[in-house]
Amino acid sequence: MMPVRRFDALVVGAGGSGMRAALELARANLKVAVLSKVFPTRSHTVAAQGGIAAPLANSTEDNWHWHMYDTVKGSDYLGDQDAIEYMCRRAVEVVVELEHMGMPFDRLENGKIYQRPFGGHTQDYGSPKMAMRACAAADRTGHAMLHTLYQQNVRSNTQFFVEWMALDLVRDPQDGAVVGITALEMETGEIALFQAKAILLATGGGGRIYWATTNAFINTGDGLGMVARAGLPLEDMEFWQFHPTGVAGAGVLITEGVRGEGGYLLNKNGERFMERYAPNAKDLASRDVVSRAMTTEIKEGRGCGPDGDHVLLKLDHLGPEVIMQRLPGIREISIKFANADPIRDPVPVVPTVHYQMGGIPTNYLGQVVAPEGAGKEAIVPGLYAAGECACVSVHGANRLGTNSLLDLLVFGKASGEQMIKDIRAQPAPHRALPKDAGENSRQRLSRLDSAKGGERVVDVLNDLRRTMQAHCGVFRFPDDLASGVSKIKEIAERVQRTFIQDRSKVFNTARVEALELENLVETAMSTMISAEARKESRGAQARADFPERDDANWMKHTLWYKEGNRLDYKPVHLRPMSVQSFEPKVRTY
Amino acid sequence: MRLSIYRYNPEKDEKPYLQDYEVALEPSDRMLLDAMVKAKAQDDTLAFRRSCREGVCGSDAFNINGKNRLACVTKIAELPEHVTIRPLPGLPVIRDLIVDMTQFFKQYHSVMPYVVNPEPAPERERLQSPEEREHLNGLYECILCACCSTACPSFWWNPDKFVGPAGLLQAYRFIADSRDRATSARLDNLEDPYRLFRCHSIMNCVDVCPKNLNPTKAINHIKELLVRRAV
């Protein structure tokens, strides 16, 4: 029998949402454990740059209604309007709290938080006037926020299990409630059962399924794999955001804040081409719009460089002072990864996979929901999700820049609050673990440990990433999608035959990578199947054969199940909590 | 490119050794981490930490040809053909390049690394002038990679008693924050022959910091405050 550790609440993942939730739980004097594959400040929230959205109105007039409108429009009307209203209404509260915790925001002359413009954020319901809504700590907002949240958790004595990798959910066969998880301690190679009354998945995205990605090595969709293997669906996985400005060839992110500060994109003719694609917002149109425009420029022969394979991001006109003060990290990255000092030279950039809009279906309280009987959104008792791994859905088919950090704080906090309520409503003793708890994890590990030969993890992984890159990109073509589906199915077979040389227990990173591949393949499969099935273009899904949005047939969320690659759909929540619905309109910037 | 990498697996090795890897580079391999990932593709038993691969998460600090650096922002073009990679010095090795950082983080935790302000929080943000905020630059950017503390002889000798450059940089980050009200408690916490005063301004920390921060300067500010408080 595996050792069992028992807590009131468990948080899996120590990025922005996990640590915000942990703080809420720790302050409620509950027994909380936070598991993380990496030391908390190594989590990928650390790489967020440009800002966190909140209508503080420190520099331009602003309010949550306008923010809500922008977010609904940005989502291409696939976002759930109740959840979007909830997020925008709590934005000021959670950002002010973060400031009180010690977040080193940049400041205006009057001492208030500095805010910059960002793509798709406007005043007065989409007017040509941009809203300055992105609260920034230079171009290191994610770093500053993650460290601040970690520091507050140190203060609250949160118990961290560092370098523990969560493996599988444990469900009660009676009612499907989630009652625990299994996890691997990397330093010893031991697996243990963690039992809790409420379990939050805050495991981040799975952007490593693509060849060119801004995502860290650790972004392997672990929570998605756990949920898929446990028989629960994944929502809207076809929607992946390509960030317009990844450093060409390196994938490293250059914040949209560069364009917020006044930078712009040029093709090989030196033309500011966004003026043709988005006459009002230009370079500050939504990310899906800018990424498509860039891809079109490159495809039509107006790309830069000897191979015409990128465009240029010009910011030297901002002057050294603005660059050094507001964009110092970008300068560092450009010099290191592009050999270009932006004070003088433009930076070569290409659209690069950045963010997963889909994920584990939840409501705005962080509770995981799944179809059951006649209902499409029955609560899965005991299980919660927040942050990039979750699909609330506030980002719909396309996320606005700076809404991701906001999502982490609002839904991290909301999940924590809901978990406290649900834990207190439960009887004191924990539910019994099923007899076979942990058996699936044990089998996964014993297959790896006993394999006498097979496929190298790195080969399968590289094939998976190349397939996703080639078959499910900025523009999607029917033949590519169909052949992509069969290729990923073949790769999924190969994942079952992986082989590692390393058989030691202590810090066996080969084993960790093999287990991560099992999560990546679920992420990739759900993406490919969902994308192939959605016969329309909306937000980040742009199909050559169905170039228009089709609200009559496709204004609905995709639900993918691992078993048999079954698809189901559920309606978008068009009704907000307190205001009028924003009706779908043609989306122009 | 030839990498000589420190290997030690406690389950089978009596003592550590250097293992050579010949890595065929491609044009897309720019940073040392790219070459290390190639070495691991040859031999999956090679263990090291890595995550963001852009110098912000602080995972892949190693001793590279004798200097503590982040592999992900160390350009191959600026290295010789033969590179020796060892774990960060002075910390216990768990396996290969993976060190036990418990002591390092314990010291960080010991400096109260959070704003303390007992005054009731206002409804909106606390105000801070751009000049006050400017004092945090060069301090808050620390990524806790431990390059500095593990390059510091004083930390090597007394990792349990000397806070070390990383921890002291953060101690000063909160002293320097206009919103913090605990300067006196913070100084009390550091007024100790070991915790602060083991720093002898050797400045290895400044030399190795991948974020170009200056812990020695921060430490000197703390020392000055203590002196001023004493008179």
Do residue A249 and residue B50 have CB atoms under 8 angstroms apart?
A: no
C-alpha Rg value of chain A to the nearest Å: 23
Do residue A96 and residue B123 have CB atoms under 8 angstroms apart?
A: yes
Taking CA–CA distances from B114, the nearest residue in chain A reads A151
What residues does A561 pair with on adjacent strands?
A566
CA of B226 vs chain A CAs: smallest distance (Å): 24
> In chain A, what residues touch B132 (CB-CB under 8 Å)?
107
Report the run of H or E that residue A150 belongs to, with start and end. Answer: helix A141-155
Nearest to B94 among A39, A507, A510 (CB): A507
Please calculate the CA angle B106-B111-B117 and round it to the nearest 5 degrees.
135
Give the 3-state secondary structure of A499-521: ECCCCCCCCCHHHHHHHHHHHHH
Is the ipTM, as predicted for this complex, more than 0.95? yes
> In chain B, what residues touch A250 (CB-CB under 8 Å)?
30
CA of B218 vs chain A CAs: smallest distance (Å): 17
Cβ partners under 8 Å of residue A443, min gap 6:
none
Do residue B132 and residue A107 have CB atoms under 8 angstroms apart?
A: yes
Confidence of residue A123 (pLDDT cuts 50, 70, 90): very high
DSSP secondary structure code for residue A178 in this structure: E
Do residue A513 and residue B44 have CB atoms under 8 angstroms apart?
A: yes
Q: How far is CA A399 from CA A147, A563, B47, B133, in A?
A: 24, 29, 36, 30
Does A123 touch chain B if contact means CB atoms closer than 8 Å? no
Confidence of residue A400 (pLDDT cuts 50, 70, 90): very high
Which string of DSSP letters, residue by residue, matches A271-323?
--THHHH-TTTGGGS-HHHHHHHHHHHHHTT--BTTTT-BEEEE-GGGHHHHH
Do residue B57 and residue A337 have CB atoms under 8 angstroms apart?
A: no
Kindly state the tokens that stand for B217.
């300067």
The closest of A218, A211, A246 to A330, measured between CA atoms, is A246
Nearest to A99 among B11, B55, B125 (CB): B125
What residues does B4 pair with on adjacent strands?
B20, B84
Q: What is the pLDDT of residue A479?
A: 97
Q: What is the pLDDT of residue A210?
A: 98
CA of A549 vs chain B CAs: smallest distance (Å): 35
CA gap A401, A263 in Å, rounded: 16
Nearest to A217 among B50, B96, B126 (CB): B50
End-to-end CA distance of chain B: 58
Helices (H), A472-508: 478-495
Interface test with B, best of A113, A217, A220, A245 (most B CBs within 10 A): A217
Q: What is the pLDDT of residue A428?
A: 86
The closest of A430, A431, A442 to A1, measured between CA atoms, is A442
CA gap A197, A7 in Å, rounded: 7
Whether the predicted pLDDT of A550 surpasses 80: yes
End-to-end CA distance of chain A: 59
- CB proximity under 8 Å: A 46-65 to B: 46-47, 56
The closest of A225, A448, A249 to A333, measured between CA atoms, is A249
C-alpha Rg value of chain B to the nearest Å: 20
Cβ partners under 8 Å of residue A50, min gap 6:
A116, A118, A134, A136, A139, A141, A255, A256, A257, A260, A401, A402
Whether the predicted pLDDT of A1 surpasses 80: no
**How many residues does the structure list for chain B?**
231
Does A111 touch chain B if contact means CB atoms closer than 8 Å? yes
CA gap A357, A80 in Å, rounded: 12
CA gap A98, A103 in Å, rounded: 6
Phi, psi dihedral angles at B50 (to 5 degrees): -165, 150
The arrangement of strands across the sheet holding B2-7 comes to B17-22, B2-7, B82-86, B61-64, B67-70
Told to judge if A302 belongs to the known catalytic residues of this protein, a careful annotator would answer no
Q: 0.80 exceeded by the pTM?
A: yes
Interface test with A, best of B54, B126, B139 (most A CBs within 10 A): B54
pLDDT digits over A276-302, tens only? 999 999 999 999 999 999 999 999 999
Place of tokens 């940089």: B169
pLDDT digits over A136-168, tens only? 999 999 999 999 999 999 999 999 999 999 999
Whether the predicted pLDDT of A360 surpasses 80: yes
Q: What is the pLDDT of residue A484?
A: 98
Helices (H), chain B: 32-42, 102-109, 130-134, 153-157, 164-175, 183-190, 204-208, 215-230
CA gap B150, B166 in Å, rounded: 10
Kindly state the tokens that stand for A134.
């992105």
pLDDT, mean over chain B: 97
pLDDT digits over B86-142, tens only? 999 999 999 999 999 999 999 999 999 999 999 999 999 999 999 999 999 999 999
Phi, psi dihedral angles at A47 (to 5 degrees): -90, -5
Nearest to A506 among B11, B59, B117 (CB): B11
CA gap A467, A153 in Å, rounded: 40
CA gap A281, A119 in Å, rounded: 8
Kindly state the tokens that stand for A240.
């992946």
DSSP secondary structure code for residue B55 in this structure: S
> In chain A, what residues touch B99 (CB-CB under 8 Å)?
none
Does A337 touch chain B if contact means CB atoms closer than 8 Å? yes
Interface test with A, best of B36, B112, B114, B142 (most A CBs within 10 A): B114
Do residue A501 and residue B43 have CB atoms under 8 angstroms apart?
A: yes
Residue A425: exposure state from Cβ atoms within 10 A (0-12, 13-18, ≥19)? exposed
DSSP secondary structure code for residue A541 in this structure: B
Does A18 touch chain B if contact means CB atoms closer than 8 Å? no
Does A497 touch chain B if contact means CB atoms closer than 8 Å? no
Distance of CA A112 to the CA centre of its chain: 29
CA gap A241, A540 in Å, rounded: 6
Whether the predicted pLDDT of B231 surpasses 90: no
Q: Of A90, A133, A229, A287, which is the active-site residue?
A: A287
CA gap A424, A97 in Å, rounded: 25
Interface test with B, best of A23, A36, A41 (most B CBs within 10 A): A41
Nearest to B28 among A42, A249, A333 (CB): A249
Give the 3-state secondary structure of A63-113: CHHHHHHHHHHHCCCCCCHHHHHHHHHHHHHHHHHHHHHCCCCCECCCCCE
The closest of A104, A110, A164, A109 to A139, measured between CA atoms, is A104
pLDDT, mean over chain A: 97
Rounded to the nearest 10°, the torsion over CA A403, A404, A408, A409 is: -30
Place of tokens 């029955």: A378
CB atoms within 10 A of CB B76: 17
CA gap A179, A103 in Å, rounded: 35
Does A32 touch chain B if contact means CB atoms closer than 8 Å? no
Rounded to the nearest 10°, the torsion over CA A499, A503, A504, A506 is: 20
Identify whether the C-beta of residue A280 lies closer than 8 Å to the C-beta of residue A128. Answer: yes
Cβ partners under 8 Å of residue A139, min gap 6:
A49, A50, A255, A257, A258, A326, A327, A328, A329, A330
The closest of A58, A69, A403, A412 to A256, measured between CA atoms, is A403
Taking CA–CA distances from A249, the nearest residue in chain B reads B28
**What is the average per-residue pLDDT within A264-272?**
97
Phi-psi region of A351 (alpha: psi -120 to 50; beta: other; left: phi over 0): beta
pLDDT digits over B37-91, tens only? 999 999 999 999 999 999 999 999 999 999 999 999 999 999 999 999 999 999 9
The closest of A565, A553, A576, A564 to A524, measured between CA atoms, is A565
CA gap A379, A381 in Å, rounded: 6
Whether the predicted pLDDT of A325 surpasses 90: yes
Kindly state the tokens that stand for A122.
């406007």
CA gap B226, B228 in Å, rounded: 5
Identify whether the C-beta of residue A557 lies closer than 8 Å to the C-beta of residue A393. Answer: yes
